Structure 1
């Protein structure tokens, strides 16, 4: 089995589909009862997150395929466009990946003309990343594809529940990522505060 590490959340495993597995020796080796949400784990919410994320990335994935890019390329493009001039060290810290994992993705984006890097004025050893016009255009196209799904979900929610509490959704997503120090720093820098971003009060 070969693991291809693209990003912390993108681990693709390759293995022959016809690879034999050891036959169970008896019924004691087979679990037949499904996992349910009756216990301490809410599998319903896990699956809601799983399938919503799959749909959230689906249209963007198809756009990325035109360039032979993947979600790791998308993440780099997104954050470099959100914070032009960020250093490679900043990006590594934010994405929580290794330099080796980033180098291939970044090289492809630079060679494709979507991102450029410049030496720092104070420290020439630092490399600052900037989007090119092509990189900005692609990032906007990817974001529009994802926003369309969000807007459709908001409209469906309003129609079925006579209202859509985006502030509560934002707070839920905000709290899910708060364990990461790099994420907290990013939220602070960008003024992202979960429910506070949408609460008029």
Structure 2
């Protein structure tokens, strides 16, 4: 016997049998969810002539003050050239401060300025509200399952990076 999404429930196998149509609908749900998730920040960014790369940089610099340019390159998975364009703009506009590294003077550590922190709050406010509402509506089991699905989609190196982020508990 199978339920609506094709989960084998007889015999305790716990196997998942999804049709191509069900997988396509999942892919489409991710596309539409991402569009909704980025809609409000995109409006703010457009007013500033910034893009999503600026948002991602601001997010991770906020998350880990003092993050090095090298570490940010690794987290974002972008080229040095594209990150340099983004950082140059953020620094020139007074949102990010680049300082000489404390341990290694060749490193550049990145910090949000007060202006940058204010922009980060504006950008993430609607996203946090959207995630909070969705998590509440779905319930704790769905939230745990959602995180499992996202982690299962990551390749090994990406999952390692994700789990290495500060304050992220390891899965049980």
Alignment TM class, shorter chain as reference: 0.7 to 0.9
Q: Which runs of 5+ in 2 are unaligned?
A: 1-17
Structure with greater Cα Rg: 1
Q: Distance in 1 between matches of 2:79 and 2:94?
A: 23
Is 2:71 the counterpart of 1:87?
no
Is 2:147 the counterpart of 1:166?
no
Q: Which runs of 5+ in 1 are unaligned?
A: 1-36, 197-201
Aligned mate of 2:161, from 156, 179, 185: 185
Cα distance, 1:193 vs structure 2: 4.5
Equivalent position of 1:26 in the other structure:
none
Equivalent position of 2:39 in the other structure:
58
Q: Which has the higher helix share?
A: 2
**TM-score normalised according to structure 2 size:** 0.79
* Cα contact 2:100–2:106 (8 A) shared by 1: yes
- Could you tell which deviates more after superposition, 142-151 or 182-191? 182-191
* Cα contact 1:113–1:132 (8 A) shared by 2: yes
**Matched position secondary structure for 2:74:** helix
Q: After TM superposition, what 4+ stretches of structure 1 lie above 3 angstroms from structure 2? A: 37-41, 154-158, 193-196
Cα distance, 1:58 vs structure 2: 0.4
Equivalent position of 1:75 in the other structure:
56
**Matched position secondary structure for 1:121:** coil
Equivalent position of 2:103 in the other structure:
122
Q: Distance in 1 between matches of 2:33 and 2:170?
A: 19
* Cα contact 2:58–2:112 (8 A) shared by 1: yes
Alignment CA distance shift 1:88-1:53 (3 Å): same
